Amino acid sequence: MTAKTRTISELGAALHARELTAQAITDQCLGAIAERNPSLNAFITVLADAAREHARQADAEMNAGRYRGPLHGVPVSLKDLIDLSGTATSAASRVRQGHLATADATIVTRLREAGAIIVGKTNLHEFAFGTTNEDSAFGPARHPLDPSRSPGGSSGGSAASVLADMAYASIGTDTGGSVRIPSAACGLVGLKPSIGEIPTDGVVPLSGTLDHVGPICRSVEDAGLLYDVLRGAMPAPRRPAPAARGLRLGVLRAYFMALLDPEVAESFERACARLQETGVELHDVVVPHAGDIAPIYLHIVLSDAAAYHAKTLESRADDYTANVRLRLEMGRYILAEDYVRALRGREVLMHEVDAALTGCDGLLLPSLPIPAPTIGVGTVRIGASDEPVRNITLRLTQLFNMTGHPAISIPCGNTPEGWPVGAQLVGHRMRTDALLDTARAVEPCLG
């Protein structure tokens, strides 16, 4: 096995067998950062010295027979919204200038205990309030396949860091799709677990009621390993994946297919055909009030974000990027009665997704309606209409932040120009493990 091993599962086995060293792998990632970060802008902070020292310690422990598990010695990156003691948590904003985290977020403690090597903190859309990474005090993160494109967001630097081999995985956050959107745009796997499963203390909030933490990585198996560590469980060998044949998936159509780039739609339909050829049963299901998703989401996320930012909007408004400031200001005008309406709508949607899942192993839909968007472009044409990039990118993911169902984006092919397309699988609430089993079963047919 060479140092070019790509998944954590494969790398962890090689490290455990001492065929590779954590120091060599970490140096390789730091080398990729040195080479590509100037053009990709994926990292805000690179922790080269600390990473090398932690890698040296990891090798010493493994050489002495003290093996911590499959993340031991594995380089990972952190979205710069997550506290890492002794470093700034910039949230990609000038508002956070001078910040220094005095403690690790719980998820960082868990990663460290599992032996992960943190190589740096990644760029994002300012305060995670956007889906393209364009509004960052540090400039936009760029797509490793074409720097004129966005890697998606808000965890765009995270996805870029994994795709460009700067880290084997990254930990992002997802309030409306911010793990799944960049994963889909970059051809990676991104998991949003069930709501509340992974602690968010030490993570700068966007919406305290919608925020989730989740991994971006190269395989469903890796997502499972990281999910175990992040939720505080010992990563255990996964049960054998169930056979894909006989699985029942509900395909969300109507609203969810109404605004898709034609090439994304084609890739998704081809993936559906492959699943059916493998023996997966697909049948159409509906969320009757899907048309209300965007208004409900908007009233919740704007209100939650405005409450968190009210003080700095008064005292340091000019330190926000212009677009993020305006979106935050919008939230200050929402009436309490409309926020309460949105909370009721959220309950309605939760029941409807539960109903759609009845009798199914999961729901299936695309993750992102368009390929990675071009940086600086505000709208994209779909059919006869020009759609705002922000609205269209959130369209297929935000529902499950509101309902709390676990959801995972898995690569499902490419457009003819080679842009990755993602399929999203959604599981039953609080059954992320079962979703991961289903995802492992269908992953080979999708990609």
* Least distance in angstroms from the C-beta of 428 to other proteins: 17
Backbone angles phi, psi at 15, to 5 degrees: -65, -40
Rounded Cα distance between 424 and 417, Å, is 21
Q: Which of 209, 338, 374, 431 binds other proteins (CB under 8 A)?
A: 338
296 binds other proteins (CB under 8 A): yes
Amino acid identity of residue 219, one-letter, is: S
Is 363 in a helix, a strand, or coil?
strand
Q: List, as one string, the DSSP characters of 42-68.
A: -EEEE-HHHHHHHHHHHHHHHHTT---
Backbone angles phi, psi at 88, to 5 degrees: -75, 145
Q: Which of 334, 374, 434, 447 binds other proteins (CB under 8 A)?
A: 334
Write each residue from 311 to 330 as x if it is in contact with other proteins (CB under 8 A), else as -, in one continuous string: -----------x---xx-xx
Strand order in the sheet with 75-79: 43-46, 117-122, 75-79, 169-174, 212-217, 189-192, 407-414, 420-426, 362-366, 248-252, 281-285
Asked if 370 and 433 touch (Cβ cutoff 8 Å), the reply is: no
* Least distance in angstroms from the C-beta of 349 to other proteins: 9
10 binds other proteins (CB under 8 A): no
* Least distance in angstroms from the C-beta of 411 to other proteins: 33
* Least distance in angstroms from the C-beta of 64 to other proteins: 57
* Least distance in angstroms from the C-beta of 375 to other proteins: 21
302 binds other proteins (CB under 8 A): yes
Q: Which stretch binds other proteins (CB under 8 A): 15-23, 347-355, 379-387, 405-413?
A: 347-355
> Which of 142/299 has CB closer to other proteins?
299
Q: List the Cα angle 389/391/396 in 5-degree steps.
A: 110
Q: Which single residue is written with the structure tokens 């965890």?
A: 155
The question of whether 178 is a catalytic residue gets the answer: yes
**With the C-alpha atoms ordered 165, 170, 173, 177, is the resulting torsion angle positive or negative?**
positive
310 binds other proteins (CB under 8 A): no
96 binds other proteins (CB under 8 A): no
Asked if 116 and 71 touch (Cβ cutoff 8 Å), the reply is: yes
Q: Which of 146, 266, 292, 319 binds other proteins (CB under 8 A)?
A: 292
> Which of 236/317 has CB closer to other proteins?
317
335 binds other proteins (CB under 8 A): yes
Q: Which of 146, 341, 374, 434 binds other proteins (CB under 8 A)?
A: 341
Q: Which of 99, 270, 289, 316 binds other proteins (CB under 8 A)?
A: 289
Rounded Cα distance between 8 and 137, Å, is 32
Rounded Cα distance between 273 and 204, Å, is 41
294 binds other proteins (CB under 8 A): yes
Is 120 in a helix, a strand, or coil?
strand
* Least distance in angstroms from the C-beta of 212 to other proteins: 23
Write down the catalytic residue from 136, 155, 178, 183: 178
> Which of 298/380 has CB closer to other proteins?
298
343 binds other proteins (CB under 8 A): no
Q: Which single residue is written with the structure tokens 């305060």?
A: 127
Write down the catalytic residue from 9, 79, 121, 219: 79
Q: Which of 344, 381, 383, 444 binds other proteins (CB under 8 A)?
A: 344
The question of whether 367 is a catalytic residue gets the answer: no
280: nearest Cα among 249, 242, 241, 240: 249
Q: Which single residue is written with the structure tokens 């159509």?
A: 253
- The number of residues in the chain equals 447
Q: Which helix (H) or strand (E) holds 213?
A: strand 212-217
Amino acid identity of residue 421, one-letter, is: V
What the block records as the tokens of 264 is 């994304």
Rounded Cα distance between 442 and 447, Å, is 9
Q: Which single residue is written with the structure tokens 């000038």?
A: 94
* Least distance in angstroms from the C-beta of 299 to other proteins: 6
DSSP letter assigned to residue 235: P
295 binds other proteins (CB under 8 A): yes
263 binds other proteins (CB under 8 A): no
434 binds other proteins (CB under 8 A): no
Q: Binders of other proteins: how many residues, by CB under 8 A?
A: 25
User: What are the beta bridge partners of residue 171?
Assistant: 78, 215
User: What are the beta bridge partners of residue 169?
Assistant: 76
> Which of 86/388 has CB closer to other proteins?
388
Q: Which stretch binds other proteins (CB under 8 A): 94-102, 222-230, 344-352, 438-446?
A: 344-352
Q: Which of 156, 172, 235, 345 binds other proteins (CB under 8 A)?
A: 345
What are the residue numbers of the active site? Answer: 79, 154, 178
Query: Footprint of other proteins on this chain (CB under 8 A)?
Result: 289, 291-292, 294-296, 298-299, 302, 322, 326-327, 329-330, 333-335, 338, 341-342, 344-345, 347-348, 351
